[in-house]
Structure 1
Amino acid sequence: MSLITDDPDRSPRDCVAARRHHSGRRRRRLLIVAASAVALLLAMAIILWLTLLPSSPRFRLLSATASTNATGGMGTVLLDAALVAHNPNAHALALYDGLRARASYAGLELAAAAPIPPFQQAQGDIVLSAALSSSSAAEETTAGGRSPTLLTLRLEGRLRWKVAVWVSSSRTLAAECVTAAISPSQPRAVVVQDCQCATTIG
């Protein structure tokens, strides 16, 4: 007969129960560690999400001047416009690519302006300029006695965000400004200034 234990008060059944108790404590400890790690990762994800989700840029039409180079009642419409791009984010750079202005003036579609070279913008304002013209002769739109002339200016391009070394994927950007000329009876029509544009990010 072999001696199983030298402690008469400790049976094999007591050893099994002790092992189960120890194993249960280790599982609880592992669960607490895993739950803490998940909570930490979730908190970091929320912080990153709040940091890396910048507010959309805003645009406004600072000024625009339209003129008609008329010959015998027909002419070419020339439009010079200045827009302000505003980045409201303190920690995110706005990266613009392929921005191009399109416009219609008095119902006439103007040829798209040359694309603006890619640039990046920190928090604050940047002034953008665009020069557009009609691609064919049109009836003079600034003759006296006409009602205020409608101008629609649309800025299209691509937008990315940069926070530290992280750069977001590219998204489509469109800003549309609709306003009316102040002086439709003059050879040069000054368009209403500081017109807010509707901005959409796709």
Structure 2
Amino acid sequence: QTQTPAHCKEATRYPVFPSREMSRLDLVASPKHCAKEGLHVKKKQNRRLLYGLSTLFLTLLSAVFLVWRILHPTKPQFQVKDAEVYQLSLPSPRLLNSTVQFTLVSRNPNARVGVYYDQLRAYASYKGQQITTDSVFPPFYQGHEDTNLLSASLSGSGVPVAPSLGYEVGRDQTAGRIAIRLRLDGRVRWKVGTWVSGQYHIEVDCVAIVGVVASGDMSSPLSTSQGSQCSTTV
């Protein structure tokens, strides 16, 4: 409600007649002037309210940012525990058959932040080309500083590849080792106390160096002690 300026109230309370109190004409304000004064008071009240709300919003935003900085989560860490390639052959120059098994060690390094893995799919690639179909892990929760093992068996039958891939496979077999990339792609959420964040995209890239025996069969030279560290992007 718009407040009436004090001098407008006074003018209304004490009408002035020119014949009696000519000296008080300076206290009399016109209705138009009073309306302008009331509008000015209302604008001032609105500015004060807007300033108060803005201050409250900035205070809350600063508090949330400060808490997030203190509890800012560190990316999950992954490491190759073991990897085995049982098949990597080309029945034709443009088609590839593959079978890959692996186990990754996943660790949450955060002491106050948990991690929800809502979606996580795994696949293998070779020379920049995906050589297996996707394998999807069921959703799971990883507590503070917890460690989990993620194992999957990947395979591909008649996967279309570039004609040059056959040459690459033959050359690596002659060299005695093949580099297979194990990739994870999915969504994670952070949990701090009872608060849970929105989803974030996570990508994990691991390199497994698999040895090849003289016969051309695949073996698994990676042991727990020489597991490969993976790069993680969130």
* TM-score bin, normalised by smaller chain: 0.5 to 0.7
Instruction: Tell me the residue number matched to 1:16.
Output: none
How far, CA to CA, are the matches of 2:66 and 2:101 in structure 1? 43
Alignment-derived partner of residue 25 in structure 1: none
2:186 to 154, 157, 163: 157
Q: Could you list the runs of 5+ residues in structure 1 that have no partner in the other structure?
A: 1-33
Q: Which of these two proteins has the greater Rg computed from alpha carbons?
A: 2
Does 2:167 align with 1:145?
no
Q: Which has the higher helix share?
A: 2
Amino acid at match of 2:132: A
Task: Kindly report which structure 2 residues correspond to 1:69-148, keeping only aligned pairs within 5 A, or say none.
Answer: 76-105=97-126, 109-122=130-143, 123-136=145-158, 141=169, 145-148=174-177
Q: Secondary structure at the residue paired with 1:49? A: helix
- Give the superposition deviation at 1:68: 1.9
Q: Distance in 2 between matches of 1:197 and 1:87?
A: 14
User: Matched residue of 2:134: which SS?
Assistant: coil
Counterpart mapping for 1:2-81 below 5 A:
44-45=63-64, 47-68=66-87, 76-81=97-102
- Give the TM-score of the pair, scaled to structure 2: 0.59
Go from structure 1 to structure 2 and tell me whether the alpha carbon gap of 1:97 and 1:61 turns closer, same or farther (over 3 Å shift): same
Q: Deviations over 1:68-110 (max 9, x none)?
A: 2879899732100101111011111100011011112466632
SS at match of 1:181: strand
How many angstroms does 1:46 deviate by?
5.5
Measured against aligned partners, the alpha-carbon deviations of 1:117-174 in whole angstroms (never above 9, x if no partner) come to 1100012210001111122179695896344212111100001001111111101000
1:188 corresponds to which letter in structure 2? M
The 1:72/1:199 distance shift into structure 2, 3 A limit, reads closer
Gaps of 5+ in 2: 1-51
Please report how far the alpha carbon of residue 187 of structure 1 lies from its aligned counterpart in structure 2 after TM superposition: 1.8
The letter for the 1-side match of 2:219 is A
Aligned length: 166
SS at match of 2:233: strand
Contact kept? 2:91, 2:97, Cα under 8 Å:
no
Shift in Å, 1:67: 1.1
What's the counterpart of residue 194 of structure 1?
227
- Identify the structure with the greater strand proportion: 1
Q: Is the 8 Å Cα contact of residues 77 and 134 (structure 1) preserved in structure 2?
A: yes
Residues 108 and 95 of structure 1: CA distance in aligned 2, closer, same or farther (over 3 Å): same
